[in-house]
Amino acid sequence: MSTNGTASASKQDLDPNQGGDANKKTYHKTATGEALKTANAHSEEKDLKLYGSCFCPFVHRVWISLEHRGLDYQYVEVDVYRKPKLLLDINPRGLVPALRHGDWGCYESTVLMEYLEDLNQGSPLLPKDPKLRASSRLWSDHINRHIVPAFYRYLQAQESGDQVKFATELREQISKLVDAADGAGPFFFGPDMTFVDVQIAPWIVRMGRVLKPYRGWPDPEPGSRWEKLVRAIENADPVKKTTSGEELYLDSYERYAENRPNTSQVRDAISYGGTMP
Ligand SMILES: N[C@@H](CCC(=O)N[C@@H](CS)C(=O)NCC(=O)O)C(=O)O
């Protein structure tokens, strides 16, 4: 039976974030659209396994990297809030993404992207030049430290004054990234998608599908450098192949937009001023 807010769901089908109300939408447990096709094409047992949840932007980054590189991998969907043992065995913190490679496991999306880079298989995402590599890491850090938390502060804000304040914060942090980008683009460093683009890609996908409907976040200004970046990232093949249908994001993020208890460790960190998980 569906747990996505259908009124017919019985109490035991509900997720804790629904607070006993079957009319509340909850996170999806299976990918849809292009992402489902890709998940199905990678369901066979492989040495390299990505444990992920279809709605999760941190998983999305690693999945885009795997697709970009054309690696032979298995995608394993897990219900991250029910924390199966196979996830906890790799990540005792119980967060996705988690990666298993043979009998070795690791977690943390940025660390996993670097690991895939270090395998030296398929197309790289980090440039060769040490200065550009350092710059990639600097702007990835900016995304993780400033853009990602601003996204959640804005989405979770319930008062209109706070929403205006956090929309401004998000715009300012995005502007810093855009000012540092190659002028011609369309990607951050120029004609090709690289590490920094993949780091921000899942939040770009969710700006149009989550921030726009829930908070009125505007489409990028036509002709702007930001628009160029957004279009290039949205149209990149590995991004399209790992993105689900719009409803999946709309439903999965209602709990954040309403700032509901029992949503996630990210929600609690933002609400109570802790560090992001
Ligand atoms: N810093 C982590 C964050 C991962 C994360 O927060 N993942 C969420 C799903 S989007 C999660 O696993 N949540 C489980 C929970 O809140 O218990 C990373 O970059 O991998």
Average pLDDT over residues 79-93: 96
Task: Assess whether the C-beta atom of 90 lies below 6 angstroms from ligand 1.
Answer: no
What pLDDT is recorded for position 1? 39
pLDDT band at 193 (very low <50, low <70, confident <90, very high): very high
Give the atom of ligand 1 at the shortest distance from the alpha carbon of 264: 16
- The pLDDT value recorded for residue 102 is 97
pLDDT digit string, tens, across residues 22-37: 999 999 999 999 999 9
- 3-state class percentages of the chain: helix first, strand second, coil last, to nearest 5: 50, 5, 40
Q: How far is the CA of 198 from the centre of ligand 1 (A)?
A: 17
Q: Tokens 């690791």: give the residue.
A: 106
pLDDT, residue 9, reads 55
Q: Give how far the C-alpha of residue 244 lies from the chain's centroid of Cα atoms, to the nearest Å.
A: 12
Which ligand 1 atom is the nearest neighbour of the CA of 81? 17
pLDDT score of 125 more than 50: yes
Between these two residues, 6 and 22, which has the higher pLDDT value? 22
pLDDT at 4: 53
pLDDT interval class at 5 (50, 70, 90) = very low
Q: What is the atom index within ligand 1 of the atom nearest the CA of 265?
A: 16
For the cut 90, the answer to whether the pLDDT of residue 156 exceeds it is yes
Q: Find the mean pLDDT for residues 252-267.
A: 95
Average pLDDT over residues 32-57: 98
Average pLDDT over residues 125-131: 96
- When pLDDT is averaged across residues 157-176 and rounded to a whole number, the result is 98
Q: Identify which of 83, 266, 267, 270 to mutate to test ligand 1's pocket (most ligand atoms within 8 A of the CB).
A: 266
Q: What Rg, from alpha-carbon coordinates, does the chain have?
A: 18
For the CA of 268, the closest atom of ligand 1 is: 16
Ligand 1 probe mutation, 90, 264, 267, 272, most atoms within 8 A of CB? 264
197 lines ligand 1 (CB under 6 A): no
Domains and CATH numbers, the chain: 33-118 (3.40.30.10), 130-244 (1.20.1050.10)
Edge-to-edge strands, sheet with 98-101? 74-77, 48-52, 98-101, 104-107
For ligand 1, atom 10, the nearest C-alpha belongs to: 56
Distance 190 CA to ligand 1 centre (A): 30
pLDDT exceeds cutoff 90 at 3: no
Does the beta carbon of 127 sit less than 6 angstroms from any atom of ligand 1?
A: no
- Residue whose entry in the numeric block shows the structure tokens 């199905």: 40
- Please tell me the predicted confidence (pLDDT) of residue 10: 62
Give yes or no for residue 2 having a pLDDT over 60.
no
What pLDDT is recorded for position 81? Answer: 96
Q: How confident is the model at residue 13 (pLDDT cuts 50, 70, 90)?
A: confident
Task: Please name the residue whose Cα sits nearest to atom 14 of ligand 1.
Answer: 95
Q: What is the per-residue pLDDT for 227?
A: 98
Question: What spacing in Å lies between the alpha carbon of 27 and ligand 1's midpoint?
Answer: 14
Q: Are 248 and 205 in contact (CB under 8 A)?
A: no
Q: How would you classify the pairing of strands 98-101 and 48-52?
A: antiparallel
> Looking at residue 74, what is its pLDDT?
98
